[in-house]
Amino acid sequence: MISHLTLDLRTRKSFTRKSSGEDVAFGDLQNGRSQTSPTDATKDRERIADLIERARRSLHLTLSEIAASVQANEATLHRWRLGTSRPTAAYASRLESLDDLVAAVRRMQGSDAGATLWLDRADVMIQGRTPRALLLEGRSDYLLGLLTAASALTTGLPHHSPDTGHSTPVVAAGGASQLTEAALEFARATSVNETGAMLIRFGCNHLGAVAALVAVNADLVDGPLSVSISEPSELAIIASANVPPVAGVVWRRYPITLKAPIAEAARTGLVVAVTGRNELQERYPGGRPFFDERGLHAVCALPIATRTNVLGGASFFFSASRTFDAFDIAVMTSLAEHCATALDRIRLTRCMATDVAATVPAEERASVQ
């Protein structure tokens, strides 16, 4: 279980920080720069080569695609495969994550052929994109979480009870998954406020949250209409659940720099999960009156972002300590991405309608009316 985490969800940030390079020469082992023995080095060579070969064979990935999936240079991957160098700890971890994904895909699809078909099948859980597209962005961990979610959704979503602290399965009506239902509803949303309310409804139902807020870039609410959108400087609440009226007024708008879970998620593009009351109050002292009034002990905050724009964030609060596993993060991230897609569509639709109105002479608009 995850007790505290911050996960990078914006594509342009994922796995791009390289603290010590991609690989280390195995020759360094004999030059006093590593404590690894020659025997262990040989095992490392074989293990890394096996990881790469399994990904190549099971998912029919090219070496170039494997390199992209771990955000490494292809020439570096060739050195790892040949055993002339080894990946740093960070890159070895990414290879391990890729191997975990390979194993999960084969287990669920039943064969290498089935795994390949899955890789190129557009999925509603990722807004119609293919798993291959996300894999090449270095998002193996995220795909693994989605597979876990998809497996559980065949029998229903686990609903976390704030009373017992345990997750119990909730079978979706008619056998349809909650995420599929959410995708369809978000696709039909016609207003910013409606979209925020949808995210709260689906998110609270899955997590068992007792209070929630959704806030977006204030320009989406009453700013100038434009095809492009700037990074938000101010957030405006568009939907809430069980938020005291006083807090609702005070926090109707606030700067994105505010030290609050929802602002932090929108500002950084990270999922922020705080699992205990002490940490919650220490990290966000300004929110103590709200936390105390509602008896809140934990929070999960998510960014609402497209691949190019940060649109806002959402916070879900809990009346007891609460951990968040990979399944929770995968489901909530997918819901937030559906919300972002809907908000972006609504914004662009408004822009196009405004542009059309501006090009039609006033007398023609009057005659149409």
Measured distance CA(266)–CA(268) in Å, rounded: 6
Find, among 157, 170, 149, 159, the residue nearest to 207 by Cα. Answer: 159
- Architecture (CATH level 2) of domain 157-354: 2-Layer Sandwich (3.30)
**Stretch among 116-125, 194-203, 303-312, 333-342 having the lowest mean pLDDT:** 116-125
Residue type, 106: R
Residue extents of the structural domains in the chain: 11-16+23-73+86-143, 157-354
- The pLDDT tens digits for 176-190 are 357 778 888 888 888
Q: Residue 220 phi/psi, 5° resolution?
A: -70, -20
Report CA-CA distances (Å) from 58 to 83, 104, 195, 213: 21, 11, 39, 43
Which range is most confident: 134-138, 139-143, 157-161?
Answer: 134-138
- The pLDDT tens digits for 221-278 are 765 555 456 677 889 899 999 876 544 444 578 888 989 999 999 988 888 999 999 9
- Alpha carbon 276 to its chain centroid, in Å, reads 22
The upper half-sphere exposure of residue 51, i.e. CA atoms within 13 Å in the direction of its Cβ, equals 28
